[in-house]
Each structure stands twice: as C-alpha cells, then as structure tokens.
C-alpha cells in the first residue's frame, strides 16, 4: 500500500482552541481521523505527524524520504523561516503539497513568503480543513 506522510507544524496541536476565528474549531485529532479515513478510500496508508520542533520535523522527513508516495505538509510558522525543512523536502522523490488552513496572503506581510512553495507541486491556502482533503485527493490522483 502506498503511503502518504502528513506533517503538521508548530501550534497545530492546539487547533480547535487557538484562534478558532482564523483556524476553525476542528481539532487536529479530528483532521487526522478524517484524513486516515479518506486515505483508506483511496487505498493509501496515512501517517500523520505533528511537532512544535523544527528538528523533529526534519528527522521525520529524513526517515521517510524514500518510503512515501507523497507528502502533505502544513509547516505553520516554519513556512516563513525554515530553509532546513525546505532542504529536507528536496530529498523526497514524491509529490509534496503545502497546505495552510488560513489564506496566508490575506494576513500579515511576513506570512506571504513560503520557503516551501517553489518546491511543492501545489500550495493550498485558505480552504480550512478542506485544504487537507483537496491535497490528499490530488496526491491520490498523482500516484495512481
């Protein structure tokens, strides 16, 4: 079974509690459960991972760079700062899709720059939880 790695960056473990007017009321557990179910519908194994630590995210990517058929990543605040996560993603020989719950281009100017966007096959921003589902559907179509 082909595997898709879904990575959630810092503070996303607080979804449902943190700024619900921006990020919604759905928890990370609910998002992961729904993505696992949708992955099963596509015949894909889903592995989810969340960390508030840049190094842990890099280590997860390195441990899976040659074991996945796709990566969906919401780097959260690391989107705008982490060359290291970008470099780790360059090792992945599979489609990478960047997801953001909010529209980062309608927010503060420092959020408009993504270190990942130019290496991802797509960026989905502003669709809330549906952005993750759109990314998973897209990867499922790419790997068939």
Between CA 13 and CA 8 the distance in angstroms is 8
Cα separation of the two ends of the chain: 11
Separation in Å, CA 76 to CA 39, 52, 80, 128, 140? 22, 10, 8, 13, 23
From 23, 80, 105, 112, the catalytic residue: 23
Between CA 107 and CA 122 the distance in angstroms is 20
From 100, 105, 112, 132, the catalytic residue: 100
Any catalytic annotation for residue 100? yes
Any catalytic annotation for residue 23? yes
What is residue 34's DSSP assignment?
A: H
Catalytic positions? 23, 100
């Amino acid at each position: 079974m082909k595997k898709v790695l879904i990575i959630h960056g810092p503070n996303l473990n607080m979804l449902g509690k943190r700024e619900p007017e921006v990020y919604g009321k759905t928890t990370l557990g609910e998002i992961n459960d729904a993505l696992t179910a949708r992955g099963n519908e596509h015949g894909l194994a889903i592995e989810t991972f969340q960390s508030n630590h840049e190094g842990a995210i890099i280590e997860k990517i390195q441990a899976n760079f040659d074991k996945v058929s796709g990566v969906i990543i919401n780097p959260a605040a690391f989107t705008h700062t982490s060359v290291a996560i970008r470099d780790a993603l360059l090792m992945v020989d599979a489609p990478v899709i960047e997801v953001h719950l909010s529209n980062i281009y309608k927010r503060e100017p420092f959020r408009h720059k993504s270190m990942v966007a130019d290496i991802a096959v797509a960026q989905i921003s502003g669709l809330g939880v549906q952005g993750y589902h759109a990314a998973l559907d897209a990867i499922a179509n790419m790997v068939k």
